[in-house]
Structure 1
Amino acid sequence: MVKKLNRRMWLRGAAGFTLAIPFLPSLFGKDEAFAAGGPKRFVALATQHGGVWQPRMYPNDTTLTQSTSYAGHDIRRGALALEAANGVASLSPVLAGDSSKLTSALVQKMNVLRGLDVTFYLAHHRGGHLGNYADNDGNGADGQAIWEKKKQTLDQILAWSSKFYPDLGSIRERSIVVGSGGMSHGWSNPGNQTGTIQSVAPENDSLALFNKIFVPPQDPTQTRPPIVDRVLADYKRLRDGTRRLSSKDKQRLDDHMDRVNELDRKLNVSASCGDIQAPASSSIDEWGSSFSVDPEAQKRFWQLMNDVIVAAFACDTCRIVTMNIGDHFSNYVGDWHQDVAHQANVNAERHELNFAGHRRFFEDVYLDLVSKLDALQDASGGSVLDHSLVQWTQESGCVTHDPIEMAVVTAGSADGFFSTGNYCDYRNLQKPASKADGNNLVDSHVGLVYNQWLGTVLQSMGLAPSDYESDGYGGYGLVQLSTEGWYGGYNKYTNAELGVMSEILPFLKA
């Protein structure tokens, strides 16, 4: 009989609380290998600006050995190839790290995607990573034109979907939102999908977050009447019995009761993490006067957050996380936005700083998280990472604030939905965007539409296109053709690219 690991087999993690031991294949029979059917998890990590030159960001183009025609142009793919030397393993100069973590086995669970664009100029945005393009600072006419066209972000669609959460019995938080003001948006009354689209407040204190997702063992002798029962009569009397109440005030009451219902549901969660111990420190302990120029402190901050996320997934008290990372992982003292990000495509010295910051983020935060998830056994077999999709996106592509050739790095197959181990290039090499000249050091080309990737993600999590598509287009997110004649994507997207957006991106379906 195959031995089973239980939740009492823990090791103490960096955050000062216990983490599950790594998945140990020798303790399992062959029939205990990964099989589809476990709960799925979704994690989105987003970083600012972008602006990494393609040879630094992506694997070598010589690995792209397969080509096929799609959406009116040739697209390419190849197998991810890991190189290792002196204890450092790499897929590209940015995608590199400790060879004990970035292993061949882990790389076979990753994908690197190139050539995904937004059809209009979108700069200084946050919600665009997950489909709410209206969450931008209005930098340019295109951005201003969509301010009122707010949409839920992808994570909140999943958080309130019965297809993603068919059973909430163990779920303390439907979604975890952390980092730099957050990038998550949802309905003010998410249960009924009504009201207004609002920003979801982030939690940047890892200890407070731990206390939200940790569920201590219940005392079976204690019972508590539902909170909602205490206010239900007053709610009904006020909402339905007062003629002067405006429709907006009725919506506010409905939103409030929806939040009360959700609080009541959380307090009645029956799952328990056993005797797991609380963290000894919090991420906010790392904050100080030098934090913004201290990449080691930033590393510690985000790794504390990673440990809480791993605990949430281990205890199955949450399955969705968004992390909006505003830190630059550099000791550069000055205006990073103007001096580095805006100069990265025109100044090789500034690009070195930009490259180094992204390289540190990949190893210190992204690789740290996915390697920990891959070391955590899932009850249905394989690792938690096998049942997850963990994506890293940047605000733009190789030119800062220019959402063309945006990089998407993923780990996990989403419970066997994705084929992995791929480097996919969706660019149309016959449609140039930016051009290297005397002032610009970077060439770029337009490709497929980023909305198609978001639709692919939603389908990987169990939703159908009819659950999220709107506006007459496929995929998820707003489609608007640019009015900015100088934009690299101006007049570049036709029915060839727009007509395939309901489809799963090529090369990715297992």
Structure 2
Amino acid sequence: MNSQNSRKSSALRRRQFLQAAGVGGASLFLPSISRNSHAGPNDGPPLRLVVFFHEHGVYYDSWKMRLPNSPASDQLDFEFELGGLSQDEFSPILAPLHAHRQNMIVLDGLAYLTAMSDPYGDGHAKGWMTAMTGNYARETYDEVKSHALTPSFDQVIKQIVRAQDSSLTDLASLEYGIRPWDGTFHQMHYGLDPQGAAVKVPHVVDPAAAFSTLFPDTAGDPVAAAHTEVLARAAAQYEQLMPRLSSEDQSKLEQHRALIHDLQVRVETLESLVCTEPVLEPWDGGWEWTSEMYNYRLPAMLDLASAALSCRISRVVSFQTDVPPIEMLGGAGDYHHDYAHQSAPGAAQDKVDVVTAQGAAHAGQVALMADKLAAIPEDGGTVMDNTIILWISELATGGHTHDQVPVVMIAGQNTPFATGRYLRFGQTTPRPIPEGQAWYPEGLVGQPYNPLLVSIIQAMGGEQNFFGRKSVTGTFPGGDTVEIGLTGTMSRLYG
């Protein structure tokens, strides 16, 4: 019985995949023809979330944007529209996202206040915990506090969307990576065990393994055996549809056909790994990896994520991407110690150039994901219209700082956010001082990050008004302390 249920579930997922590929009959959502939803019990397309997480922050002066009339004071809030800016007017790191500027919200000036107030822990780990859980670290590894106290927001949203749609399986969220990690300080996803403790949720870095999870049991399956005929059958249906479509929808259909062709090539490559020597060798525990591995894994994982989201197998996808191979950034050696830690303001130009290239590479990853989702038609628009992409890091800069953290959202037109804007949050918050560490410098820092997560959780259907910690204690210059609230949504996101 269990085997039959597994085969039935597998067949359903493959049918959904083929439908999204344009070979399932009534699967493409185009305005000029009437079609019914192919998955899920709810009316209209569901909202999805994609999270990109990279390490070491950015070189801030290469990330931030200012206009000639922008206030000079760091303590002032301001904003400006992105739509009318040329790519040359974007910062070097954000320039790869220029094509998506109308859907962007750049959040400049947020602070990881819980990381600042946590009295004990590795700077990277505290940043991971704040960015993903809005809370302190809890568990220790090698005598350093580094693991989560409470679940990460992607896993909380997973439970929210599963409650909305009973047809979603445990694949409602996908945890992907590009490069393997050692599993100590660097962990993005946390769920809850039966006793209520936060535990690591593993992420998948091998495209072949990711494919077999999404579309299992292909051996002996007539659908899998017919994969080589998918494009031919799709082409025939495309030709039948074309005369019935508006010119705008014909263009969308051509874009979708190109996307599916690329995905089909990758799927066939991944399937060949089952019976031939793997192209991707298992990670051996070292930190060395190549541009060839990066250039294979990244687009393959993004394609699989796009298929899972468009087929409505998954609603949440998180990417733990890491730094691209150092030679791709124009450097040599170890990025962490040779460049990130050496990139304080006034650093040597060669350090700045490599750290800037790292930020731009991650922006390119986000742009590629947005491109793919924007090319998939859905109910009068595209999958990107019904998606929130969040790009974050555990640090503001490579110097283990947690103030002025780089945050970018790309949000589709069917999300509640007012996009196409650069939002600057002034440094007006009293700096949290960790308990027992009075040597920390006093001063003013950016505004709380936690409300951003509350806004995203509520956009995805949650009702909670806080995430992680509800408050921290801050100290004004001169010694006066105040309780800093972290609850509620981020009002400026809504225009």
When normalised by structure 2's length, the TM-score is: 0.66
Counterpart of 1:418? 417
Counterpart of 1:505? 490
Aligned residue for 1:457, secondary structure, equals helix
Please say if residues 455 and 490 of structure 2, whose CA atoms lie closer than 8 Å, have aligned partners that are also in contact: yes
Counterpart of 1:206? 207
- Rounded to whole Å, the distance in 1 between the matches of 2:410 and 2:478 is 32
Counterpart of 1:238? none
- Rounded to whole Å, the distance in 1 between the matches of 2:479 and 2:352 is 29
Q: CA deviation at 1:398?
A: 3.6
Q: CA deviation at 1:74?
A: 4.0
Counterpart of 1:114? 108
Please say if residues 115 and 445 of structure 1, whose CA atoms lie closer than 8 Å, have aligned partners that are also in contact: no
Counterpart of 2:51? 44
Please say if residues 455 and 476 of structure 1, whose CA atoms lie closer than 8 Å, have aligned partners that are also in contact: no
Counterpart of 2:63? 57
- Rounded to whole Å, the distance in 2 between the matches of 1:345 and 1:385 is 36
Please say if residues 80 and 421 of structure 1, whose CA atoms lie closer than 8 Å, have aligned partners that are also in contact: yes
Please say if residues 176 and 322 of structure 1, whose CA atoms lie closer than 8 Å, have aligned partners that are also in contact: yes
Gap change, CA 1:345 and 1:489, over 3 Å in 2? farther
Q: CA deviation at 1:8?
A: 5.3
Aligned residue for 2:108, secondary structure, equals strand
Please say if residues 134 and 468 of structure 2, whose CA atoms lie closer than 8 Å, have aligned partners that are also in contact: no
- Map 1:207-356; keep pairs closer than 5 Å: 207-214=208-215, 278-281=267-270, 285-286=279-280, 292=288, 294-295=290-291, 297-331=293-327, 332-346=331-345, 347-348=347-348, 349-356=350-357
Counterpart of 1:188? 193
Gap change, CA 1:353 and 1:136, over 3 Å in 2? farther
- Rounded to whole Å, the distance in 2 between the matches of 1:24 and 1:490 is 61
Q: Percent identity?
A: 20
Q: CA deviation at 1:445?
A: 6.0
Please say if residues 54 and 394 of structure 2, whose CA atoms lie closer than 8 Å, have aligned partners that are also in contact: yes
Mean CA deviation greater in 166-175 or 351-360: 166-175
Please say if residues 110 and 403 of structure 2, whose CA atoms lie closer than 8 Å, have aligned partners that are also in contact: yes
1:53-96 deviations in Å (ceiling 9; x for gaps): 2x31022244759x9xxxxx742111114655xxx776321012
- Rounded to whole Å, the distance in 1 between the matches of 2:51 and 2:217 is 27
- Rounded to whole Å, the distance in 2 between the matches of 1:57 and 1:114 is 9
Give the AA of the match of 1:48.
E
Mean CA deviation greater in 404-413 or 118-127: 118-127
Give the AA of the match of 2:317.
V
Unaligned stretches of 5+ in structure 1?
A: 1-5, 13-17, 30-35, 68-72, 220-272, 434-443, 470-474
Aligned pair count?
Answer: 388
Aligned residue for 2:45, secondary structure, equals coil
Counterpart of 2:385? 386
1:392-418 deviations in Å (ceiling 9; x for gaps): 111211453111111111112483211
Q: CA deviation at 1:312?
A: 0.1
- Rounded to whole Å, the distance in 2 between the matches of 1:183 and 1:93 is 27
Gap change, CA 1:132 and 1:413, over 3 Å in 2? same
- Map 1:6-85; keep pairs closer than 5 Å: 10=21, 27=32, 37-53=44-60, 55-62=61-68, 74-81=76-83, 83-84=85-86
1:215-241 deviations in Å (ceiling 9; x for gaps): 789x9xxxxxxxxxxxxxxxxxxxxxx
Counterpart of 1:169? 167
Residue 123 (str. 1) matches residue 123 (str. 2)? yes
- Rounded to whole Å, the distance in 1 between the matches of 2:423 and 2:56 is 22
- Rounded to whole Å, the distance in 2 between the matches of 1:58 and 1:333 is 26
Aligned residue for 1:210, secondary structure, equals helix
Give the AA of the match of 1:356.
A
- Rounded to whole Å, the distance in 2 between the matches of 1:199 and 1:302 is 23
Please say if residues 329 and 360 of structure 1, whose CA atoms lie closer than 8 Å, have aligned partners that are also in contact: no
